[in-house]
Structure 1
Amino acid sequence: MAKEEAAGSLREKNVKVVFVLGGPGSGKGTQCANIVRDFGFTHLSAGDLLRAEIKSGSENGTMIQNMIKEGKIVPSEVTIRLLEKAMIENGNDKFLIDGFPRNEENRAAFEEVTKIEPEFVLFFDCPEEEMEKRLLNRNQVLSSPHGRDDDNIETIRKRFKVFLESSLPVIEHYYSKAKVRKVDAARSADEVFESVKGIFSSFGPKDS
C-alpha cells in the first residue's frame, strides 16, 4: 500500500527524471554538479543513497551492507525505494539519477514501481583509453607513493567490463524510444558542458 501511495505522490508532483549513465571516469559527477547549478535539478546518486542507508544503522542498512559484503547485488526494489523516498522528501520536481539503472532489470523495475519514465537518458560516451587515463591520474593523485598501478588498472578494467555488459542494454532500450542524448565525453569538461547546456535548455534556467 505504501508503495502505491509513494508512486501516486510522485505522479502528483509531476516529477521529471533524467537518468545519467557513463563509464567510470566519463565525468558524470562534474557535469551533474553543473546541471544542478545552472538548471536547478536535484542530483541523486543511487550509490550515495545506499551508503547513507548503511551508515544510518537501520535494519534495511544492515541488510544492504551484508549483501554488498557477500558480493551480491542489492535488489532493484531496495534501491528504487530509497530513490523514491529521496524524491518525495525533496521539494524539487526535477531529478538527475546518477549510476542507475545499472541493468535492464533495474530499469524495468524502476518504471514498474514508480510509474515514471525518464524524460531522457544523458549518456556520457567516452573511449575506454581516455577513462582509464583519467582514473589512473586520479588514483596517482589520491594514492600514496606505494600505490600499485597494476592493481588499479585491473580493477578499472573490471569496472569497464561490468558497465558495458550491464548498462549498454539499458541505453539500447532507450535508443529504441529515441530517449538517449549522447554526449562526447572525451573532450574537456567545459566543452562537454556546452553540449549538455544545449540538451537541458528546454528546462529553462534555474529559478533565481
Structure 2
Amino acid sequence: MGSNVDAANMEETRSALREKNPKIVFVLGGPGSGKGTQCASIVEHFGYTHLSAGELLRAEAQSGSEDAPMIKNMMSEGTIVPSEVTIKLLAKAIMKNENDKFLIDGFPRNEENQVAFESITGIEPEFVLFFDCSEEEMEKRILTRNQGRLDDNIDTIRKRFKVFVESSLSVINYYNSKGKVKKIDASKPVEEVFEAVKAVFAPVDDKSG
C-alpha cells in the first residue's frame, strides 16, 4: 500500500518540480575536496540555495522516520543510500524553498542516482561543478576538520574515497560527454579555488562578466 502512496506522491512532486523548473548545478568532489566551503561562497556571491545531500540524509537519519535506521546504517558503512530516498529529500527541499537556483552538493553519487534523478524529476542540471583533489590531500583535510561526524573516521573515510572513485566517475564521464562538466583544481588554497569557481558562474549569472 505504501508504494502506491509513494508513486502518487512522486508523480505530484514531479509535476510540481517541472512547473517550478529550477536551475540546478550538481556539485561533485571527493569527501574533503572543499565542496561545502565553496558552496557557501557561491551562495553569497551568486544567490543560489545550497542543498547538501549528505546533510539532508544526516538530518533524516536523526529524525526517527521509517527510513532513519536504514540511512544511519548505510552512512556508517560508507555505502550509497537508495536514489529514491535521497531524491525525495532533495525534491522536498527544492519545493519548500522560494529560490529557483540550487546547488546540489554530493549528488548524484553514481550512475543509478543520475538516471533516477532525471527520470523522477524530469530535470537535467545546467552543469556539474567537479572539485578535483588528490586522495591524500582530502584525507589530511578530513582528519584535521573533525566535525564529530559519525562518518569521519579513517576506515569510513577510505571507504568513502573508494565509493566516490568507483561510482562518481561514471557520472562525471556521462556529463562530460554532454559538455556539462566544469572541472576545478580543488587542491589549491580556498581563495584561489573560488577565483576559478567565480569564472565558471559569472558568465552564467552575469552577462556583463
**Under a length normalisation based on structure 1, what TM-score does the superposition of the two structures give?**
0.85
Report matched runs for 1:31-180 at 5 Å.
Answer: 31-65=38-72, 68=75, 73-139=80-146, 153-180=154-181
Kindly indicate whether the alpha-carbon contact (under 8 Å) linking 2:79 and 2:160 is maintained by their aligned counterparts in 1. Answer: no
Return the offset for 1:50.
1.5
Q: Partners in 1 of 2:200 and 2:13 — Cα distance? A: 29
Quickly say closer, same or farther: Cα 1:190–1:158, change in 2 above 3 A.
Answer: same
| Greater displacement, 21-30 / 58-67 | 58-67
Return the offset for 1:152.
5.0
Return the offset for 1:64.
3.3
Return the offset for 1:54.
2.5
The answer for unaligned runs of 5 or more in structure 2 is 1-7
Q: Partners in 2 of 1:82 and 1:154 — Cα distance? A: 27
- Encode CA deviations 1:62-92: one digit per residue, 9 max, x unaligned: 4534555787642111110110011001111
- The alignment covers a number of residue pairs equal to 196
Kindly indicate whether the alpha-carbon contact (under 8 Å) linking 2:131 and 2:185 is maintained by their aligned counterparts in 1. Answer: yes
The answer for unaligned runs of 5 or more in structure 1 is 144-150
**Under a length normalisation based on structure 2, what TM-score does the superposition of the two structures give?**
0.84
Kindly indicate whether the alpha-carbon contact (under 8 Å) linking 1:130 and 1:186 is maintained by their aligned counterparts in 2. Answer: yes
Kindly indicate whether the alpha-carbon contact (under 8 Å) linking 1:39 and 1:203 is maintained by their aligned counterparts in 2. Answer: no
Aligned-residue sequence identity (percent) comes to: 69
